[in-house]
Amino acid sequence: MDNFFKPRSIALIGASKDKTKVGYNLWQKLKAYPGRLYPVNPRFGYQRVTDIKVRIDLAVVAIPARFVPGVLTDCVAKKVKAVIVISSGFAELGEAGVSLPPPPVPFLGPNCFGVANPSRRLDTTFAKVDPPPGNIGLISQSGALASYLFNWARQEHLGFSKFISLGNRLGLTENDFLEYLGNDSATKIIALYLESFADGLGWLKLASRISRKKPIIVLFGGQTPAGRLASQSHTASLSPAGAVVTAALNQSGCLQAKTITDFTNLLEVFSLEPELKDNDLAIVTNAGGPAILATDTASSLNLDVAKAVDVLGDAGAGRFSQALNEVLKDKTRDAYLIIITPQANTQIESTCRAIVRRFRSVKKPLIVSLLTGRLTETAGNILRQNRIAT
């Protein structure tokens, strides 16, 4: 699997000088990779991959679907160690698609968005925003959703250890990459967007084992009849019913996100915060109502919540800071939630700076809920730049 993420040599089959082609975008991105790079195109570089004199660890294929079977034959003859097929036009089109038998080589795709290993400057995607480096391992059946997440992560000061787009899963599947990320020291949490299971029973066994050592967060598409139909034309997959998915994820110890917002919130918290050791939660707030709602939610999750520390609506940064000092004296608390709402005397940015100072040496989970609408941009950045989840 390392040939997908740490290749010494890459052949880009379909490299192009035409700025309107995917092969052009891929070529420009791959130029940043420190390994050896070989363009394959009858009008640009090598005629065929078999013409390259050195061994090829990874071939990335971005050509019209009708030419892909022949190119894969060349890759097998060349003994290429791993192949990614970006090209679409296969089983996702039904009978109109090009038939593509699985090649006898580690194979990702077709109809996929590529892979990335940001810490090594490897990016075989054609996303507009490069994925920033970090500790989230992302597996996705949607390239567009991944592209959004790259942009979101950059804005939130988060990043990715590895990224994998599954495409039609003719060869390798989510199970193969889940196993890989489970053993990857650079990956703290594993995130997946799926529309079906390639091997549901295998998933249950694998995820049950890996979720004991790393959080696995799953966003599952195609949970309605209309959504299941849409997934067939997207990645040639048939989604299981929603109840089946929920049962499988619960049984395997995974966390299921219901929306993209849930998904990104979970990614942020698990990426930034240390592991929760026990279930005692402390809440500090300047608003009673939101604290009550938070207490209800925490209690429903079997967290032990003491009465919230309410600094009242007229509190400035000083009073918040004093309250935090007192709360931190209680060493029995395992996690902290701070809720800030915009009232007349609320000093949002100063309060956030006080939070950063007070929690700099605290190695316990902390979430700051900024219920301040558009007033939070600068304050949110203060927290995110200091690795505090909001």
Residue 237: pLDDT band with limits 50, 70, 90: low
229-243, 256-270, 312-326, 341-355: range with lowest mean pLDDT: 229-243
Biggest CA–CA distance in the chain, Å, is: 74
Please give the CATH number for the structural domain made up of 1-109: 3.40.50.720
Give CATH for domain 112-272: 3.40.50.261
Q: What would the mean pLDDT of 85-91 be, rounded to a whole number?
A: 91
Taking residues 79-94, what's their average pLDDT?
Answer: 92
What are 123's strand-pairing partners? 116
CA atoms 221, 225, 228, 233: torsion sign: negative
The more confidently predicted of residues 246 and 3 is 3
Nearest to 270, CA basis, from 206, 149, 187, 374: 187
Average pLDDT over residues 104-108: 95
Q: What is the DSSP string of 133-183?
A: EEEEEEEES-HHHHHHHHHHHHHTT--EEEEEE-TT-SS--HHHHHHHHHT
Give the start-to-end residue ranges of the domains of the chain: 1-109, 112-272, 275-385
Higher confidence at residue 59 or residue 307? 59
Region 15-37: mean pLDDT is 96
pLDDT at 239 over 70: no
Domains 1-109 and 112-272 share a fold: yes
Q: ∠ CA(119), CA(125), CA(129), 5° rounding?
A: 70
Task: Examine the pLDDT at 295 and tell me if it is beyond 80.
Answer: yes
The pLDDT value given to residue 358:
94
Question: Distances in Å between the alpha carbon of 239 and those of 89, 133, 228, 232, 254?
Answer: 20, 31, 5, 8, 18
pLDDT of 7 higher than 90: yes
What gap in Å lies between CA 142 and CA 146, rounded to an integer? 6
Per-chain mean pLDDT for the chain: 93
Strand partners, 219: 193, 257
| Amino acid sitting at position 94 | G
Q: Say what the pLDDT of residue 373 is.
A: 77
Q: What is the pLDDT of residue 93?
A: 84
Of the options 3.20.20.140, 3.40.50.261, 3.30.300.130, 3.40.50.300, the CATH number for the domain spanning 275-385: 3.40.50.261
For 145-165, the pLDDT digits (tens) are: 999 999 999 999 999 999 999
Contacting residues for 382 by C-beta, under 8 A, at least 6 apart: 349, 352, 353, 356
Provide the Cα torsion 271, 273, 274, 279; round to 10°.
-120
Output 335 or 227, whichever has higher pLDDT: 335
Determine which of 125-134, 237-246, 265-274, 360-369 has the lowest per-residue pLDDT on average.
237-246
pLDDT in tens, 197-212: 999 899 999 999 999 9
Query: What pLDDT digit, counting tens, does each position of 159-190 carry?
Result: 999 999 999 999 999 999 999 999 999 999 99
In the prediction, which pLDDT does 101 show? 87
DSSP letters along 360-379, please? TT--S-EEEEE--GGGGHHH
* Tokens describing residue 37: 């790079």
Per-residue pLDDT band at 336 (split at 50, 70, 90):
very high
